[in-house]
Chain A
Amino acid sequence: MKQKTDEEILKGILERDNAIFNYIYENLYNQVKYMIVSNSGSDEEAQDVFQEALIVIYNKLVNKELELYCTFKTYLYSVSRLMWLKQLEKKKYKSEEIYDENMTDLRVDDKNILDQIETNERFRLYQKYFKQLNEDCRKVLELFINKVPLREIAEIMGYSSEKYAKKRKYICKEILINNIQKDPKYKELQK
């Protein structure tokens, strides 16, 4: 496979290009997996961390907040490592106990990226429950978020009135909030 430049990779991530993500998994996943599996993690946890690290990077790119001062490989590794450290902390491990031969090569703005990792964790939980809502609820909330005029929302959804469209939104939001708050992870993420 042809070697991709960091610029090509970042552009591909921003465009959600399948070929680039395949390239990333093929070439960069094993190193991250090794770091996690040799530090009390499972294959599934490694996969999860790697995926969410890519989502954090995607969000940084979308918000034009990503400036690379190292190679993309190092950056992705560093973000994944920070994510895993956070998870280990929750499991009551101490960061000094983490075995990592690549540790000296980290160049990530820790505070900023940690904030983003935490936001991403919360958003992921909200999105999980949003996707589990019934179709009608998902659709109506999405239309409101996209600021579609109330009259159009009522029309698209086949509701009898604009007033009912609003009512439906409140009901759906309430279901969503209830489900989120019931998840033990929600409380954990509040700490």
Chain B
Amino acid sequence: MKIIIEKIEKYLEGELQSEQKEFEALLDKDEDLKKLVALNREIDAAIAQKEVMALRTQLEKIADKYQKHKPIVRKLSTNKLTWIATAAAITAFAVSFLIFQGNNSNQQIFDTYYSSFQNFETVRGLPASSSAYNEGIASFKQNEYNKAIRSFENILLLEPDNNLVRLYSAMAYLETDNTNNAIEHLNIIIESQDVFYLEHAQWYLGLAYIKSGKTSDAKRILENIVNNDSFYASEAKKVLKKL
């Protein structure tokens, strides 16, 4: 199998040289080989759809939120709903009062654009500590962020280069208002230039700076995101307009 894949790859890259004609003749006759070449081509096209993969994760998250919230509302009695509506109105008023009183609009921007990163499918790619990872993720999903932080930090002690865990850890710190810790983790990911988590880390760092009132730092990061046309460029543009 390995030799076949290597040959197919070289064929697709036009690097078979003297063997090219021989391979093409084989391709004409061998249906299985033809299928394997087609599969190889399709896989390349599928891998190139980075945006689609990100969009699927984004939609899963929205759907989760939507599914999670709906049944709860349905189960409540009208009486309870009235109470909740009243309480929500009071809270909304109090929050908006606080926001417009002080220079708290940064928090408002953060709340509008922040959503924690979820990409649970990469679990299998992780080494030995994946049971600790699973525990951390389970706590994270149940909004038990302090518990999640303990699991993630334990992993990071053994695997300081595990940027997926570091990113989750940063998210958990943001959720618990430990913004400085989140900033520290996100900066480490950015410094490592890990292509898989770099863009996420930059975006969340921008939001973390907003949350902690470091507006000029936030602007610098967000402008960088826009200039590099990264995954979060359109969101970053919108935030920049509000800063």
Which residues of chain B are near A22, meaning CB under 8 Å? 62, 66
Which residues of chain B are near A21, meaning CB under 8 Å? 58-59, 62
One of B5, B115, B119 near A18 (C-beta < 8 A) = B115
One of B5, B44, B164, B195 near A170 (C-beta < 8 A) = B5
**Residue A100 lies at the interface, judged by CB distance under 8 Å to chain B:** no
SS class of chain A's interface: helix, strand, loop or mixed? helix
CB <8 Å contact, A177 and B52: no
**Residue B73 lies at the interface, judged by CB distance under 8 Å to chain A:** no
Which residues of chain A are near B5, meaning CB under 8 Å? 170, 173-174, 177
Query: Nearest B residue to A172 by beta-carbon distance?
Result: B5
Which residues of chain B are near A74, meaning CB under 8 Å? none
**Residue A130 lies at the interface, judged by CB distance under 8 Å to chain B:** yes
CB <8 Å contact, B6 and A170: yes
Which residues of chain B are near A133, meaning CB under 8 Å? 125
One of A124, A142, A171 near B2 (C-beta < 8 A) = A171
Least distance between A9 CB and chain B CB atoms (Å): 14
Least distance between B163 CB and chain A CB atoms (Å): 8
Contact segment of A46-54, A76-84, A103-111: A46-54
Q: Contacts A18-B58, A145-B47, A176-B43 given: A139-B195 contact, CB under 8 Å?
A: yes
Least distance between B12 CB and chain A CB atoms (Å): 10
- Count A-B contacts at CB 8 Å: 116
SS class of chain B's interface: helix, strand, loop or mixed? helix
**Residue B9 lies at the interface, judged by CB distance under 8 Å to chain A:** yes
Give the interface residue-count category, chain A. 35 or more
Q: Contacts A25-B66, A43-B67 given: A180-B43 contact, CB under 8 Å?
A: yes
Query: Nearest B residue to A135 by beta-carbon distance?
Result: B125
Q: Contacts A16-B55, A138-B125 given: A130-B66 contact, CB under 8 Å?
A: no
CB <8 Å contact, B125 and A127: no
Q: Contacts A133-B125, A174-B5 given: A127-B52 contact, CB under 8 Å?
A: yes
Q: Interface of B with A (CB < 8 Å)?
A: 1-2, 5-6, 9, 35-36, 39-40, 42-56, 58-60, 62-63, 66-67, 115, 119, 121-122, 124-125, 164, 195-196, 234-235
